Structure 1
């Protein structure tokens, strides 16, 4: 996108109460943001959802002036822009009606043909939540997903620090422009995040910091990913909003269950109870629901002569050795284990080189 096209698109984004859904509708109807600003009033009135007030705003030169100033900031700070009709715009976000017409980024982000998951939760993460989050991401490393979060206190920063530690790309979605950082105490993590991913936002450098920005930001967290994971959440909270948005996008949602008496398990338990989220107890649950093939991520190796299996793993191994190719659900039924536990055991056995997955959620002994 050249500078002139970007100025008009920025100006369109700057118009209050227009919204990304209506902006996209106008662009698709008239071909470009520039054409919208230059279209005759009589023709604009024929488009549903525009109205006199929005048309008046389109003819106010202050939006173009603001766009010119924002472009100077973008160019001066080497900010990368993603236009919703461009090839490099995040693929999964393209399918969200209210995805931003322009997305701004900084860092080294690479999303092409990547597995992408979002991890969200309370800002008041418990020691158990920290432990679970760190172990989950450590176990995820073999699958090499991109970890999306909001760079906030609690679950967000725990997930992003763990991603960096395990060599995974991670992206922080911000509720403000790229000229500031919140919380300020997380400034010390910025360089390592940018080296291992970066930051996304659809807010300008001139946008006033506002609590409502977080709710708007959450649609990007949910929209970028094929699945959203809620680690811990109270009965109400921003993580539940993100989960709700992810469900509205027809994406998978996972929640970590907890004791009914634990304040920061209530939100997760309620999601599961309302069938708005899958139970997540390990990476195996994620891999099973998303149909991720672990074997594809591991270089072929010769079968070890002696593989050490735990007692429950050995039970599954003997069953598969006797029965041959078998579906996960049938393995669980015949070995008298819950499906989620069976999936976890099979994943561990797969990593040990004892079994391999086949199309149709089948497994067999190597």
Structure 2
């Protein structure tokens, strides 16, 4: 356990410090360690930090709790991923409300080349289970694939079981501590998932599942995925919440159509009807829309050659690929690169012909011009 890791955990345990303020603090101070070594007067000059928060950051009790938390995670074999780490899910780094600290247990590649999330009702029908298995079997023919779901009853656990059957790495995103598998009936499956996939959560060790944690968990599922497939869903429920979040993240969403009179097809049909999801007819059609290649086939060349860029430059280009144009302040916030350093990075990228500066301190990819 490094000192920096302990301080990262301490930020999450500090009263009054949430994910957004954590990013601001690290951006201003340079690291989690430096946040706790900054004097009270300087802390109070940071936006969002009041007297109570500053006092909490200076309390040694939080550091003791963080040390204990790190010890528990280490014993459980859980890896802690902070938002500044290179192993942190890159797809989440561009999302404002992404958690700053994640716990990962297992061997899942959370930055796999292709990530598909499959969600649906807990009261899955035999039709829904059959379709889910067929989808996973179809996805098993593609390289660097990770299949994500929520480890719940119904479509979720059917997804994980099918992934194990067809040897596709699968990740369960949890609404509890990584050491608290819920429902308990899925402990066996969760254990099997660790070899090639794993379990992921934002909640500290020992956290029990509570109702508000499930919608929060859904934003991670939506944020991780390139494509979200809703198999069966009622008009209200977690699957529809996940689809709404995925829409807000500009993700590709597909819904399996069903019988008009079926309760658990009503949600999918509504997504299609309101143009919030494309109609799912087959894995082949979805893959065509995602421009993916099958195993053994040559991959299409990337539009941009990012191989010679630094990690910070790659992140900036990635942000501009997802947003046609961005203000320098917005780029700094989402990349967590200080404006002083970002300005030189942007100049370098512009000289390489990769980006263009625009009036009003805005930037865009050169190919967008």
TM-score (norm 1): 0.77
CA distance in 1, matches of 2:297, 2:197: 25
Structure 1 residue 156: Cα displacement: 0.4
Secondary structure at 1:97 match in 2: coil
Q: What are the within-5 Å matches in structure 2 for residues 249-288 of structure 1?
A: 249-288=249-288
Structure 1 residue 194: Cα displacement: 0.9
Structure 1 residue 36: Cα displacement: 1.6
Q: Which residue of 2 aligns with 1:298?
A: 296
Deviations 1:64-121 (A, max 9, x none): 1210110111222222121211111122122222222221111121244421111111
Provide the alpha-carbon RMSD of the alignment: 1.7
Q: Which residue of 2 aligns with 1:150?
A: 150
TM-score (norm 2): 0.76
Q: Which residue of 2 aligns with 1:86?
A: 85
Whether 1:30 aligns to 2:29 is yes
Contact 1:279 1:285 in 2 (8 A): no
Secondary structure at 2:140 match in 1: helix
Structure 1 residue 208: Cα displacement: 3.8
Q: What are the within-5 Å matches in structure 2 for residues 105-144 of structure 1?
A: 105-144=104-143
Q: After TM superposition, which residue ranges in structure 1, 4 or more long, deviate above 4 angstroms?
A: none
CA distance in 1, matches of 2:224, 2:57: 30
Q: Which residue of 1 aligns with 2:227?
A: 227
Structure 1 residue 17: Cα displacement: 4.6
Structure 1 residue 59: Cα displacement: 2.7
CA distance in 1, matches of 2:290, 2:297: 21
Unmatched segments (≥5 aa) in structure 1: 301-366
Structure 1 residue 202: Cα displacement: 1.3
Structure 1 residue 56: Cα displacement: 3.2
Larger Rg: 1
Which sits farther off after the overlay, 12-21 or 228-237? 12-21
CA distance in 2, matches of 1:239, 1:218: 8
Structure 1 residue 3: Cα displacement: 1.7
Contact 2:180 2:208 in 1 (8 A): no
Q: Which residue of 2 aligns with 1:192?
A: 192
Structure 1 residue 55: Cα displacement: 2.4
Q: What are the within-5 Å matches in structure 2 for residues 1-366 of structure 1?
A: 3-144=2-143, 145-294=145-294, 297-298=295-296
Deviations 1:254-296 (A, max 9, x none): 11111221111111112122211111121023112211133xx
Contact 1:82 1:88 in 2 (8 A): yes
Deviations 1:126-172 (A, max 9, x none): 11100111111112211142100111100100011101111100011
Aligned length: 297
